[in-house]
Amino acid sequence: MKSYIKAISTYFPKQILTNDAISEEFPEWNSEKILQKIGIQERHIASKEECASDMASQAVLQLIEEHQLDKDKIDFLLLCTQTPDYILPTTACIVQDKVGLPTDCAALDINQGCSGYIYGLSVASGLIASGNFKKVVLVTVDTYSKYIHPKDKGNLSIFGDAATATLITPEGDYEIKQPTLGTDGSGAENLIIRNGGTRQARNENPEDLDNFIDMKGGKIFNFIVKRTPEVIQANLALNGWHFEDIDLFIFHQANTHILEKVRQDMEIPVEKFVIEMRDYGNTISSTIPIAFSEHLRKFPKKPKEKILFVGFGVGYSWGAICIETVKKQA
């Protein structure tokens, strides 16, 4: 059975952190310099009281309202986050209750980062293909801002908070093709929060950097530049598509420096390459659905028959998946 993306909705916290505000805290970190270096002007930040389940619930409610869904028909809630409310219970279970989804709706968390949307689509597609589920809602949500040290101007500039909800069904507007996924755990130390699990407990020391995100940007950059072309070619071959067939390339929106390097290396035409992160920042697993929905809203008549999603990052993990627009009957 085929699976399709039927609808996407997004949610952003009300609080906004601008480049100007960052520059006020770090005068050497010029506002325009931030924009030129990473392509971000502002980013949404979750309030102190706002956690993953709150944002995820809002995204699902948006999906239900905007697309007039019967929430009693949703039979699987798949939630991708690396910043859950608690170690247990599952955040998806909390969201099921907050939204008021039926108790015969399955709920499952995926702990995955910047490739999370690709992994999530792969799992959701498999659930539909099994024939056991008809309406799967894939939620992506993260609050990385809660794990950034207040003096870490680099990560403060890069990351934003957001949530998205995608409805996957046996019929819809965008067919989900076969995925290509990969993992290299030897890179785990290059993007990590060391404290907070069972190996090293989180503590109350605000100066203990192990309580916060540690990202080795240079190694992440090298990994992405090397791995992305490989996973793209593998996924195109798997689905019998050719590079020149793709109308839109939508990568995880890490930062514009990385994106532009990969685009140039692969000789992807600018008009086919989607960058939508100026007002959102790097929102982890939410960047691809945000970029996709924003680009469609801004350019509804742009060619989009064949689309390629590519995610990469923490883990290391990576993935690519082809999406084909369903042709409308005349």
Of 120, 139, 172, the last residue of a domain is 172
Residue 194 lies in a domain: yes
| Chain mean pLDDT for the chain | 96
Total of domains in the chain = 2
Range of the domain at 234: 178-325
Are 102 and 200 contained in the same domain? Answer: no
- Burial (CB count within 10 angstroms: exposed 0-12, middle 13-18, buried 19+), residue 60: buried
Residue 158 has pLDDT above 80, yes or no: yes
Say whether both 211 and 300 belong to one domain.
yes
What's the CA gap between 320 and 310, in Å, rounded?
A: 4
Question: Which residue, 139, 172, 205, sits at the end of a domain?
Answer: 172
114: annotated active-site residue: yes
Read off the pLDDT of residues 181-213 as tens digits, 9 standing for 90 and up.
999 999 999 999 999 999 999 998 989 999 999
* Catalytic one of 190, 235, 255, 282: 282
Residues 24 and 163 in one domain: yes
Which residue in 44, 51, 211, 252 is the catalytic one? 252
Residues 289 and 156 in one domain: no
Angle between helices 31-38 and 256-266 (to 10 degrees): 30
The CATH number covering residue 251 comes to 3.40.47.10
User: Is a pLDDT exceeding 80 seen at residue 328?
Assistant: no
Is 262 within a domain?
yes
Residue 166, pLDDT above cutoff 80: yes
For residue 329, the model assigns a pLDDT of 62
Nearest to 54, CA basis, from 87, 10, 91, 5: 91
Catalytic (active site) residue 282: yes
Among 146, 172, 198, residue at a domain's last position: 172
In a domain, 330, yes or no: no
Of the candidates 51, 105, 114, 322, the residue annotated as catalytic is 114
Q: Are residues 62 and 190 in the same domain?
A: no
252 classed as catalytic:
yes
Same domain for 160 and 23, yes or no, is yes
Q: What is the pLDDT of residues 15-72, one digit of tens each?
A: 999 999 999 999 999 999 999 999 999 999 999 999 999 999 999 999 999 999 999 9
- Identify whether residues 155 and 77 lie together within a single domain: yes
- What are 231-279's pLDDT values in tens digits? 999 999 999 999 999 999 999 999 999 999 999 999 999 999 999 999 9
Distance CA 164, CA 59 (A): 5
